[in-house]
Amino acid sequence: MVTTTFVDEVTVIEPEWCNDVDALVYQGNLGTALNITAGATAAADLASIGYTAANGLELTGQGSTYDVALINDVGNVVAGVLTGTTTLQLIGALDSNDTTDATTDDIGAIHTLGGLGVTKTAWIGQDIVLDERADHAATSAAGSGIVWVRSDTPSSLIYTDDAAVDHALTSPIITGHIRAGNTQLWDGEGTLTGELAVHTDLTEDTWETVGPTGSGADNVWADMDRLPSNATILIVDCEATVSTGDASSIFFFIYATHGDDATPAASELSNQIFWYGVDHDADIAGNERSTARLYIPLGATNQDFNLNWKVTGLTDSEEIHFRYRGFMTD
């Protein structure tokens, strides 16, 4: 038995339509759901095929889960546009045969103008390239961390924890240094800018700041200009010399705090980084010298530090010299 279903309209453009399938144009409804139109589809169409000059072939539908779905030959949904949204949901794997290498954020086999969310493990077969930034773009939030590249010279790989604290994951070797772990020491082959003459550059028993060029410190020490942005500790050699011809007990004191400490406490053991004492009796007089390697905390804002020094006892002269030796990173 043959069943005949009548449709709204069939237009044959050429008499020889059976020899030229492109000439057969249908326009109207097939049953109660599918609509084929020569123009744009309508939002109310349950299932519609149309055409516009801008979009070309249009598919429109309305379903409880998807508006438009692709079904494989065993009846499984492969991909679909979630109902009432612009979200294309892929049920299986996305396999691209495009071998275009990503050279910028808008060139590559897969390109998105928005963020990329990955629920499970992301496996990268080759490199990950991150653009430099002055600061991370994402906002720190409890339960997550941020990995980004800071635009230092050279650039630094940074991890920002959920308390918005930055941690440098790399410490590039700075020219003229040798690295061991998070410590880099001056290799002794180059030429340093010059020592810091503490006894003449800083007023005795007064807190003053010392920092690199551009730090705004009271005293600029150019040798600190070589510090990378993630340096947190300055390493210096200190040489203290006193000259006296009197019988006296003489003591050197040096105190330091990081530069972000706007009001350093009065000189005390908590911030003392150097101490040296010598007793002269009536039969012994002359010069005394002491050396020590000092580790000075740096401020996070300008990489500067607060320094205070004093000498007690009767002296003819005293000298304190700082010589740059390296740095430590976080």
pLDDT, tens digit, 9 for 90 and up, residues 93-135: 888 888 888 888 778 888 788 888 888 888 888 888 889 999 9
Q: What is the mean pLDDT of residues 253-258?
A: 95
Query: Looking at the predicted structure, is the pLDDT value of residue 13 above 50?
Result: no
Residues 197, 185: Cα–Cα separation, whole Å = 21
Tell me which amino acid residue 285 is. A
Backbone phi and psi for residue 65, each to the nearest 5 degrees, phi listed first:
-110, -50
Residues 274, 324: Cα–Cα separation, whole Å = 16
* 46 φψ region: left (φ > 0), alpha (ψ -120 to 50), beta (else): alpha
- For the chain, the structural domain boundaries read 10-90, 132-168, 186-329
What pLDDT, on the 0 to 100 scale, is given for residue 27?
Answer: 54
Domain 186-329 CATH class label? mainly beta
What pLDDT, on the 0 to 100 scale, is given for residue 288?
Answer: 79
Nearest to 322 by CA among 230, 243, 254, 225: 254
DSSP state of 100: P
Query: Looking at the predicted structure, is the pLDDT value of residue 273 above 50?
Result: yes
In sequence order, the 6+-apart residues with CB closer than 8 A to the CB of 13 are 23, 24, 25
Backbone phi and psi for residue 252, each to the nearest 5 degrees, phi listed first:
-100, 140
Token match 């030959």: residue? 73
At residue 302, the 3 state secondary structure works out as coil
Query: Looking at the predicted structure, is the pLDDT value of residue 307 above 90?
Result: yes
Structure tokens at 190: 């180059």
Q: Taking a C-beta distance cutoff of 8 angstroms, is the pair 158, 148 a contact? A: yes
Confidence of residue 20 (pLDDT cuts 50, 70, 90): very low
Q: What is the CA 103 to chain-centroid distance, rounded?
A: 19
Higher pLDDT, 271 or 14: 271
* pTM flag (> 0.75): no
In sequence order, the 6+-apart residues with CB closer than 8 A to the CB of 284 are none
Query: Looking at the predicted structure, is the pLDDT value of residue 171 above 80?
Result: no
Structure tokens at 141: 């939030």
